[in-house]
Amino acid sequence: MSSIEKLPVAVVGGGLVGSLLALVLRKRGYDVSLFERRGSLQEIEEQAGRSINLVVTRRGIDALERVGLGEAVLEFTVPVTGRMMHDRDGELAYQPYGRDDKECNYSVSRAGLNAFLIRQALERGIDVRFDMRLAEADLDSGRLRFDNTDGETTVEAETIFGADGVASAVRKAFEARDDFQLSIDMLSHGYKELYLPPAEDGGYRVERNALHIWPRGHFMMMALPNTDGSFTGTLYMPNQGKDSFGQYADADAVRELFRREFADSIPLMPEYVEDYLQNPTGELGTVRCAPWHHEDRVLLLGDASHGIVPFFGQGMNSGFEDCSVLGDLLDQHGRGEWGSVFAEMSRRRKPNCDAIADLALENFVEMSDKVGDDAFLLRKAVEHRIEVAMPELYRSRYSMVMYSTIPFRDAFDAGVVQREILDELCADIDDAEQVDLEHARRLIDARLTPFLATRNISFDY
């Protein structure tokens, strides 16, 4: 009988988080084997053409910079400086995201970024194994059994990282523990990808540096730019009931929906009916679990331990931040002190990942419904004025989440204090120019600044 291969470190899942994690570990001298169920790098590269795009923000860029790849990744992104709202008549309204255009999100192809990170892993000597679908894991012995096209492969790893996404097979093995808590809350909404091709001259048909949103109450469409002049659109709707994927299920119904709700997008999407009918409806949900680690052997990261809905654009970014925190802890603890590193990871990251999960759910209401609402727009405009006038005292919650590495929990709690201040400032005005900035400063000094001091938060980013 052939002996089982022994490995020092196995990362299961070569997606966005697993491939970055492998680079973080390699940088610290660990011999890493990365197991990915997809067949080859070429297969991932082929997905890059029309794949979904996502935004990378400060936390993600910071994590990439730590492995020397921040600048290289930014080169194949498109900066997105604000939201462009499209109403039913095609009227546009633009809302900048940050204090100025330097504070922006970067739109990137998910598969393009994934392929880039795996190529880097190969170049840096990481043992990347494709066509390896984890079928079974034994957390105590570290034994991993993978299915592949030729049969199956079993290895035994001293240390295992589960970065195999929202339906994690590594996490599944945790369910054998009596104390393991798992909740998976599915959203009643799903999503469909749509494609907005480049103009005939290869340019962009609508404003390039914006997230385009068609907010329609309990459903919405959005589109993010790609580097080639195209946009990837995503339609979010309930799965069943009024205005749902269930209701709009044939070509005529889809045309009727778009003519009524998204008329100005029709010339941008010549194949929207085919896309809509052919593309699968994706599911959205929130995964929470505890503990994230098993003794000193196994740790879950990324969507495997904290899958969130996409409405704050922080799923990958928070998974990348896991990699940064893990790297810091490895530097602080002695080599091979996995038990203390894993326990500290769960202690530090879980409250923050729970906070961004809640923020992401809350932001769905903001994006789909409130961005078209006058009171909301006024509050945003007032907040923008304050942020520009006194950036050392006030940064919006959005800015803290997207453009800083302030812990998500602190950003969440600071946002509660800020909401009270904005409510008071907006009570008697109907235009942001009317806001009394001196009154704003007094409220901030009295309420926000003392709160920030208790959490050691400063706005020097």
> The tokens of 209 are what?
């540096």
Of the candidate residues 190, 310, 372, 415, the single one contacting ligand FAD (CB under 6 A): 310
Q: Does 316 bind ligand FAD (CB under 6 A)?
A: yes
Measured from the CB atom, the residue of 193 and 383 that comes closer to ligand FAD is 193
Region of 197-205, 298-306, 344-352, 373-381 interacting with ligand FAD (CB under 6 A): 298-306
What's at 423, amino acid-wise?
D
Region of 209-217, 306-314, 361-369, 411-419 interacting with ligand FAD (CB under 6 A): 306-314
Q: Does 120 bind ligand FAD (CB under 6 A)?
A: no
Q: Does 98 bind ligand FAD (CB under 6 A)?
A: no
Tally of CB atoms within 10 A around 65: 14
Q: Does 17 bind ligand FAD (CB under 6 A)?
A: yes
DSSP letters along 107-133, please?
A: EEEHHHHHHHHHHHHHHTT-EEE-S-E
Asked, as a colleague might, if the bond just before 238 is cis with ω within 30 of 0, I would say no
Residue sitting closest to ligand FAD (CB): 15
Site string for ligand FAD, 186-215 (x = CB under 6 A): -----x------------------------
Of the candidate residues 9, 22, 41, 55, the single one contacting ligand FAD (CB under 6 A): 55
How far apart (Å, rounded) are the C-alpha atoms in residues 90 and 73? 34
Q: Does 137 bind ligand FAD (CB under 6 A)?
A: no
- What is the 8-class DSSP label of residue 99? S
Q: Does 233 bind ligand FAD (CB under 6 A)?
A: no
Measured from the CB atom, the residue of 11 and 422 that comes closer to ligand FAD is 11
> The tokens of 418 are what?
């800020």
How far apart (Å, rounded) are the C-alpha atoms in residues 219 and 424? 30
Q: Does 164 bind ligand FAD (CB under 6 A)?
A: yes
Q: Does 292 bind ligand FAD (CB under 6 A)?
A: no
Give the binding-site size for ligand FAD (rule: CB under 6 A).
Answer: 34
Region of 16-24, 341-349, 387-395, 413-421 interacting with ligand FAD (CB under 6 A): 16-24
How far apart (Å, rounded) are the C-alpha atoms in residues 63 and 324? 5
How far apart (Å, rounded) are the C-alpha atoms in residues 113 and 20? 10
Q: Does 169 bind ligand FAD (CB under 6 A)?
A: yes
Minimum separation from the CB atom of position 18 to ligand FAD (A)? 5
Region of 89-97, 206-214, 297-305, 349-357 interacting with ligand FAD (CB under 6 A): 297-305
Of the candidate residues 27, 50, 124, 133, the single one contacting ligand FAD (CB under 6 A): 133
Measured from the CB atom, the residue of 20 and 329 that comes closer to ligand FAD is 20
> The tokens of 90 are what?
């095609």
Helices marked H in 153-217 — which ranges?
169-174
Decide: 266 and 221 in contact? Cβ < 8 Å: no
Antiparallel, parallel or unpaired: β 32-35 and 5-12: parallel
Of the candidate residues 26, 37, 395, 397, the single one contacting ligand FAD (CB under 6 A): 37
Region of 198-206, 307-315, 345-353, 380-388 interacting with ligand FAD (CB under 6 A): 307-315
Measured from the CB atom, the residue of 79 and 282 that comes closer to ligand FAD is 282
> The tokens of 288 are what?
């929470």
Q: Does 14 bind ligand FAD (CB under 6 A)?
A: yes
Minimum separation from the CB atom of position 37 to ligand FAD (A)? 4
What's at 377, amino acid-wise?
L
DSSP letters along 333-348, please?
A: SPTT-HHHHHHHHHHH
Decide: 301 and 322 in contact? Cβ < 8 Å: yes
Minimum separation from the CB atom of position 455 to ligand FAD (A)? 24
C-alpha 67 chain-centroid distance:
19
Helix or strand (DSSP H, E) at 5: strand 5-12
Give the CA distances from residue 68 to residues 24, 65, 232, in Å, rounded to whole numbers and listed in that order. Answer: 10, 5, 28
Minimum separation from the CB atom of position 99 to ligand FAD (A)? 21
Q: Does 112 bind ligand FAD (CB under 6 A)?
A: no
* Residue of 395, 388, 398 whose CA lies nearest to 460: 395
* Residue of 87, 15, 24, 95 whose CA lies nearest to 303: 15
Region of 91-99, 164-172, 211-219, 348-356 interacting with ligand FAD (CB under 6 A): 164-172
Minimum separation from the CB atom of position 136 to ligand FAD (A)? 10
Decide: 115 and 45 in contact? Cβ < 8 Å: yes
How far apart (Å, rounded) are the C-alpha atoms in residues 171 and 111? 24
Of the candidate residues 11, 18, 162, 233, the single one contacting ligand FAD (CB under 6 A): 18
Q: Does 82 bind ligand FAD (CB under 6 A)?
A: no
What's at 409, amino acid-wise?
R
Residues that bind ligand FAD (CB under 6 A): 12-18, 35-38, 52, 54-55, 132-134, 163-165, 169, 191, 234, 282, 302-304, 310, 313-317, 319
